[in-house]
Structure 1
Amino acid sequence: MRILWVSHLVPNPPKAGVLLRSHYLVKELAKHHEVDLLAFSQKGLLAPYFNSVEEGLEKSKEVLESMCGKVEFFECPVDKSKFSKIWCALYSLVSAHPYNINWLKSSAFGECLERWHKENPYDLIHFDTISLAPYAAGVSNTTLALDHHNVESHMLIRRAGLESNWLKKLYFWQEGKRLEALEKKYCPQFQTNITCSDLDSERFESFIPAANFKTIPNGVDTEFFKPGNNLPAAKRLIFIGTLDWYPNTRAVQYLAHKVWPLLKDKHPDMQVDIIGSKPPADLVELAKKDSRFKVHGFVDDLTPYLEQATVYVCPIDDGGGTKLKLLDAFAAGKAVVAHPVACEGLYVTDEKNVLLADSPQKYVEAIERLISDNTLRQQIEKNARQHAVDNFSFASIGKQLADHYMQINADHKR
C-alpha cells in the first residue's frame, strides 16, 4: 500500500512522549508499506535535542528519508512569531473553531497534501491528530485514518476540573466542550480512528457510537530499555519527562513540594533525580538549596540514571492517552510508584507490576516499602519488565497497525 502520514510534528528524535510513538510507528509501518511524510515542525519539540532548530530539521529529515519516500516539513503556524500562540488562543474564543483546530491552519500545507495525492494517489492517508482532521476535506477516493494520542476533549475538561484559576478553568472547559463537538463531527468521517488504549476507545465510543475505533497501544523499544547490569542505589528516586508539558509540570511540582518534604528528613541519605527539558523555575531554585534534590534538565543518555534509580515515581494525575515514560520504566525493570491516572490504559495490577498511590502519605509509604524490602522491589521489577515485553513491543505494535491499515483499506474498497 501507498500511505501518506500527515503529522502535527516532525517524528524525530524518538526521545520522549509523542515523539517516541510517532517515530516508531512510522518506522515500523514503513517496513510493511510505502510511506511518505508531510509534517509541521514545532520548534519547542526540536530545540531541546539539537544545537538549533535548523540542525534538528536537517538531521531529522535525513533520518526520516531513510525510512520514507517523500518527506517535507512546514513551519508550525503558531511558531511564526512570539505572539502567534497568544493571538491564536484569543482569536479562537470568537472563531468557529477552537484553538486545537486553529493552531494548525495553513493553506500551503493543505495545497501540498492535495497536490501529492493528485499526482500519485495514496491508498490510505493517516492524520496524526484531531487538529489535522479538517485537511481530510481536500482529498477524495482514499481510505482515511485519524489518530488520537489522547481523547483531547476529555483531557481538557479534566484539566479544567483540576485548575484553580477560574479564567483558565473556564477557557479549558469551553475548549474541551467545543472540541468534543468536533470529535463527534469528524470521527465518523474517517474509516478508522486509532487510539492508544482500550480505555480511550471506550471513552470515544460512549459519545461517538457511529465511528470506528481501533486500539494501537503505545510501545517501547524493549531492546534499548532493559534492566542494567548494576544494582540500583539504596535510596534514589527518579522522574523523567518533558517538564513544560503541564501534566508533567504538575506532577514534578507535587513530588517536590508534597512528597519530598515528608521523605527528606526521615531519609537523609535519599536522593531525587529530575530529568527532562525546560524544568520549572521553582524546581531549579529548590535544587540550588537542596543538594539531594537534583534537577538535571535534558540528558542524552538516560541509562546510567535509570540503572541507579531504586524507585521511579510518577505522580501524574492529569492528561490523557498512555504514559510512554512508564513503559520505558517498566522495560528498564524499574519499580514504579504511580498515580492511577498515570497508569490508565497500561493494564497494570497494583502490588504486582506497580504500586499505586494517590496522596503524599501513600507515596511515602509505597516508596519506603520498596527501599526497605528488596524481595518486594525485585519482584515488582521483574513483573514490570515482563509486562512491557509481553504487551508493548514497538515491533509487534507496528505490525498491528500495518495489518489493520491493510484490512481497513480492503474493506473500504469493497
Structure 2
Amino acid sequence: MKILWISHLVPYPPKGGVLQRSYNLLKEVCKQHDVTLFAFNQSSFLNKSLPYEDDPIGKSVLELEKFVDSVHVMEIPKEKIKFGGHWIALKSLLSGSCYTMDWLNSTAAARTLSTLVDRNSFDAVHVDTISLCVYWEIFSHLPTVLNHHNFESEMLIERSRSEKNPLKRFYFRKEGERLSRVERRYCESASLNICCSDDDSKGMKKMFSKGCFVTIPNGVDRSYFYPSKNIFKNKNSAVIVGGLSWYPNRNAVEFFMNDIWPVLKARLPDFRVDIIGRDPTNEMVEFAQKEDNLHIHGFVDDVREYLWKAEFYLCPIKVGGGTKLKILDALASGCCIIADPFACKGINVTNGKDIVFAESASDYVERIIELINCPNEIRSIEENGPRLIAELYDYQEIGNRYCKYISDVSST
C-alpha cells in the first residue's frame, strides 16, 4: 500500500513524547507499506533537539529517508514573523476561529500537498493531529486515519478551570469550546480515529458518537530504553523528566519545587534531584541556583544515563491527556518510579508492583523514605517494569496492530 503521512513536526530525533510516538509508529508502518512523509518544520523545537548539528533539518531528513520513501518539509508561516504565534492567537480569538486550527495554515503547504495527492495514488492518509485537518478537503476523498496524541479540547477546558489568570482562563475556555466543535466535524468524518489510551478513546467516543475510535497505545523502543547492569545507582537521588514548554510537565515541576522539595530536603538533607527537559523557565533556573542538591539540566541528548543512575524516578503530573511516554521509558529502563496516579492513566501498572503511587507532597516524601528502608522492594519494582513493557508496550507489536487497522480502512 501507498500511504501519505501528514505530520505537524519532523518526527526526528525520537526524543520527547510526541516525537517518540510519531517516529516509532512511522518506522513500523514503513516496514510494511510505502510511505510519503509531508511534515512541517517546527524549527525552534528541532534545533533544541539537535543542538550540535549545523543542519538539523538536513540531518533529520537524511535519517528519515532510511525508511521513508520520500520526505517533503514545509516551513510554518508564523515562524517567519516576530511574535507570529501571538498574532495568530489574537486573530483566531477575534475571528471566532481557534489557534489550534490556524497555526499551520499555509497557502504554500496546501499547493504542495495538493500536488502530492494529485500525482500519487495513495491508498490511505495518516493525519498526525487535529491541526492538520485545515487541509482536509485536499485528501478527504481518501481513507483517512486521524491520530490524537491527546483529547485536545478537553485538555484546554480542564486547563481553563485551574488557570488563575482571568484573561488566560477566558482564552483557554474559548479555545477549548471552539476546538471541540472542530473535533466533532473531523472525528466524525475520518475513516478511523486512533487514541493513545482507552480513557481518551472512550471520552472522545462519548463526545463524538458518530466517529470510530480505537486505541493504539504509546510504546517503547526496547532497543534504546532498557535496564543497565553496568551503571550503579546513586543513593538518595531522583530524576524528573519532561519538556518544560508543555504545561503539564511545567506544572508538575512547579509543584515539586514549591511543595515537595521543601519537605524532602528537610527530611533528607543530602537527597539530590536532577530535572531534565528543554525550556526550563527563568524562575526554575533561579530557584535551583539557590539549592545545593537541586539541578536543572534543560535538554540532554541522551536521558538514559540519568534514568539508570537515579535511585528514584518522580512524575508528579496531575493534568494533561494521552499516556505519558516518560513513564513507559522509565519502566523499560528499570527505574523505581513514584508517580501521581493521574500520570499513569492509560498504562496498565499496578501500585506496589511495578510503580508506587503518591499524590500529596508528604506522600512523595513518605514513599521515598519507606523505599529507602526496603531495598528489596526497590529491586522488585525495578525488575517488574521492563517485564510489563515487554508484554504490552513494545512498538513492534503496536506497529503491527496499527498496520492492520490501516489495511482494513483502505479496503472498505
TM range (shorter): over 0.9
Contact 1:46 1:53 (C-alpha < 8 Å) held by counterparts: no
SS at match of 2:146: strand
Q: Distance in 1 between matches of 2:332 and 2:52?
A: 31
Unaligned residue ranges in structure 1 (runs of 5+)? none
Q: Percent identity?
A: 41
Q: CA deviation at 1:265?
A: 2.1
Match of 1:202 in 2: 202
1:368 aligned residue: 369
Alpha-carbon deviations, 1:324-372, whole Å to 9, x = none? 1111100001111111221111122222221112211111112222222
Residue of structure 2 equivalent to 1:66: 66
Q: Which runs of 4+ in 1 moved over 6 A?
A: none
Q: State the SS of the aligned residue for 2:239.
A: strand
Tell me how far apart the structure 1 counterparts of residues 51 and 200 of structure 2 sit (CA, whole Å): 37
1:134 aligned residue: 134
Matches within 5 A, 1:12-411: 12-51=12-51, 55-229=55-229, 230-411=231-412
State the Cα deviation string for residues 207-235 of structure 1 (Å, max 9, x = none).
11110011110011112111111342221
| Residues 292-333 of structure 1: CA deviation (Å, up to 9, x unaligned) | 101112221222211111110001111111111111100001
Q: 1:331 to 1:282 in 2, by over 3 A?
A: same
Query: Quick one: structure 1 residues 86 and 327, their matched pair in 2 at CA, closer, same or farther if it must change by over 3 Å?
Result: same
* Shift of residue 140, structure 1, vs aligned partner: 4.8
Task: Answer yes or no: is the 8 Å Cα contact 1:29–1:398 preserved in 2.
Answer: yes
In structure 1, what residue type is equivalent to 2:302? D
Give the conservation status (yes or no) of the 8 Å contact 1:274–1:295. Answer: yes
Q: Deviations over 1:62-100 (max 9, x none)?
A: 011111112111112221222210000101112242110
Q: Say if 1:4 and 1:126, in contact at 8 Å, map to a contact too.
A: yes
The aligned amino acid for 1:45 is: F
Cα distance between partner residues in 2 of 1:315 and 1:171: 26
What is the SS of the residue equivalent to 1:137?
Answer: helix
Aligned residues: 411
1:44 shift after superposition:
2.8
Query: Structure 2 CA distance, aligned partners of 1:369 and 1:281?
Result: 34
CA distance in 2, matches of 1:44, 1:328: 24
Gap runs ≥5 in structure 2: none
Paired residue type of 2:225? F
Which amino acid letter does the alignment assign opposite residue 330 of structure 1? L
Separation of aligned partners in 1, 2:302 and 2:50: 14
Equivalent AA in structure 1 for residue 327 of structure 2? L
Q: Aligned equivalents of 1:304 and 1:390: distance in 2?
A: 24
* Inter-partner Cα distance in structure 1 for 2:78 and 2:375: 50
Q: Conserved in 2, the CA contact under 8 Å of 1:43 and 1:53?
A: no
* Distance apart, 1:188 and its partner CA: 1.2
Asked whether the 8 Å contact 1:34–1:68 carries over to 2, the reply is yes
CA contact (8 A) 1:310 1:371 kept: no
Quote how far apart the aligned CAs of 1:200 are.
0.6
8 Å CA contact 1:41, 1:75 repeated in 2: yes
Matches of 2:168 and 2:342, distance apart in 1: 22
Q: Secondary structure at the match of 1:310?
A: strand
Shift of 1:53: 8.3
